[in-house]
């Protein structure tokens, strides 16, 4: 199969590297010219704990002429999705599957405007990574990735991608209905991200303070209520225990959730694909989400005034 990564930053480079090492033909597409030039010149540098290796993986900052892929793994930040699809539309053919492992529900909200639903795959991953600079990525935690067809049901192409990910050591479960997993991750991210980004407290600090837990729990309850209206069983107890585990000071409490990192670095956040998307969906049902709305408004101000 021909596989492209569209948006080869922290996560895209990591997945691309796993696939490349397992022998799959993969091309990294990214509009960031310095990053692409560095990979072309010196290879992609992958740092894992105290070791580093360099992979001669193909990278390009614009579509390679005539190249169309079986799978395009979309890993730009959610807010960059439309621009990436427009800039790289030539790599997506009528038989291409577009796969979003982005946080939030960009895959569900944005992709169907451009790609037929049957060819959209969505998922969530607990794998993580960080960009060190042009051409260099640090591998973070591993775990599990869930993959599902947006239109539901099974398909050989989805099973095949699951098998490819597993063969590449990227532990993946193909599920006919990943909506519960996606929505529970959405509730998790829509609560911990804005609360830490706005308070500038790390996960351990915010998640062990009674007011932090109270606020996160209110947001989780709102996201779950919208999920329930859509027929998705979002388990608030499960999300809250995941949050408590993620915030345990001795485990990973010093972790800076991605939205806090974005705010500290003056970058635009993924608030639109998280709380923004939930608020829009709630509006369709005439529901008001006061906690989500308040954190959305504050993060949106930061995005518009300070984010680039």
For position 59 contacting ligand NAD by CB under 6 A, the verdict is no
Nearest residue to ligand NAD by CB is 9
Owner of token pair 């929505």:
183
Closest CA to 62 of 96, 97, 101, 33: 33
- Minimum distance between the CB of residue 17 and ligand NAD, rounded to whole angstroms? 12
Q: Which of 4, 5, 9, 105 binds ligand NAD (CB under 6 A)?
A: 9
CA distance 98 to 107: 9
- The packing angle between helices 210-229 and 236-246, to 10°, is 140
Options 27, 91, 125, 278; binder of ligand NAD; rule CB under 6 A: 125
* Residue 60 found at the interface with ligand NAD (CB under 6 A): no
Q: Which is nearer to ligand NAD, 10 or 279 (CB)?
A: 10
114 forms part of the interface with ligand NAD (CB under 6 A): no
Cα separation of 77 and 269, whole Å?
A: 8
Q: Which residue among 76, 175, 193, 275 contacts ligand NAD (CB under 6 A)? A: 76
Q: Which CB, 168 or 213, lies closer to ligand NAD?
A: 168
Residue 173 CB coordination number (10 Å) = 15
Which C-beta is closer to ligand NAD: that of 193 or that of 213? 193
Q: Tell whether the torsion through CA atoms of 200, 201, 206 and 210 is positive or negative.
A: negative
Mask for 132-151, x = binds ligand NAD (CB under 6 A): --------x-----------
**Minimum Å distance from CB 298 to ligand NAD?**
20
Cβ proximity to ligand NAD: between 31 and 242 the closer is 31
Q: Which two tokens stand for residue 274?
A: 């998280």
Q: How far is the CB of 264 from ligand NAD (least distance, A)?
A: 14
Give the Cβ contact number of residue 21 at 10 Å.
15
Using the rule CB under 6 A, is 184 a contact of ligand NAD? Answer: no
In three-state secondary structure terms, 48 is strand
Max intra-chain CA distance, the chain: 56
Given the complex with ligand NAD, which of 10 and 281 has the nearer CB atom? 10
Phi-psi region of 139 (alpha: psi -120 to 50; beta: other; left: phi over 0): beta
> Closest approach of Cβ 61 to ligand NAD, in Å?
8
CB of 254 vs ligand NAD, minimal distance in Å: 16
- Residue of 59, 78, 147, 274 that binds ligand NAD (CB under 6 A): 78
CB of 34 to ligand NAD, least distance (A): 10
Closer of 8 and 219 to ligand NAD (Cβ): 8
Q: Is 103 in the site for ligand NAD (CB under 6 A)?
A: yes
* Category of 43 on φ-ψ map: left (φ > 0), alpha (ψ -120 to 50) or beta: left
CA distance 288 to 108: 21
* Contact by Cβ (8 Å): 186, 274: yes
| CB 189 to ligand NAD: min, Å | 8
Smallest separation (angstroms) from ligand NAD to the CB of 78: 5
Residues 55, 39: Cα–Cα separation, whole Å: 8
Euclidean distance between CA atoms 158 and 243, whole angstroms: 30
Quick one: which H or E segment has residue 244? Answer: helix 236-246
- What is the binding site for ligand NAD (CB under 6 A)? 6-12, 30-32, 35, 75-78, 80, 83-84, 87, 102-103, 125, 128-129, 131, 140, 258, 270
């Amino acid at each position: 199969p021909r596989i492209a990564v569209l948006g080869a930053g922290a996560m895209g480079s990591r997945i691309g590297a796993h696939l490349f090492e397992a022998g799959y033909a993969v091309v990294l597409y990214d509009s960031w010219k310095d990053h692409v030039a560095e990979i072309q010149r010196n290879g992609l540098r992958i740092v894992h704990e105290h070791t580093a290796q360099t992979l001669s993986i193909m990278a390009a900052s614009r579509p390679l002429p005539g190249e169309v892929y079986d799978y395009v793994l979309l890993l730009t930040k959610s807010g960059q999705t439309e621009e990436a699809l427009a800039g790289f539309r030539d790599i997506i053919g009528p038989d291409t599957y577009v796969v979003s492992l982005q946080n939030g529900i960009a895959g569900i909200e944005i992709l169907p405007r451009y790609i037929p639903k049957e060819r959209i795959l969505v998922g969530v991953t607990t794998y993580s990574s960080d960009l060190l600079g042009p051409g260099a990525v640090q591998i973070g935690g591993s775990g599990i990735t869930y993959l599902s067809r947006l239109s539901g049901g099974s398909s050989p192409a989805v099973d095949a991608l699951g098998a490819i990910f597993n063969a590449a050591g990227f532990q993946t479960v193909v599920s006919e209905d990943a909506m519960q997993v996606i929505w529970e991750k959405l509730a998790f991210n829509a609560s911990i991200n804005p609360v830490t980004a706005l308070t500038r407290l790390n996960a351990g600090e915010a998640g062990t303070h009674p007011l932090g837990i109270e606020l996160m729990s209110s947001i989780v309850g709102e996201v779950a209520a919208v999920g329930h209206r859509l027929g998705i069983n979002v388990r608030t107890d499960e999300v809250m225990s995941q949050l408590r585990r993620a915030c345990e000071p001795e485990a990973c409490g010093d972790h800076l959730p991605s939205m806090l990192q974005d705010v500290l670095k003056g970058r635009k956040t993924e608030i639109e694909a998280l709380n923004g998307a939930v608020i829009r969906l709630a509006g369709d049902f005439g529901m008001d989400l006061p906690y989500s709305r308040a954190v959305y408004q504050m993060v949106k101000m930061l995005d518009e005034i300070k984010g680039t």
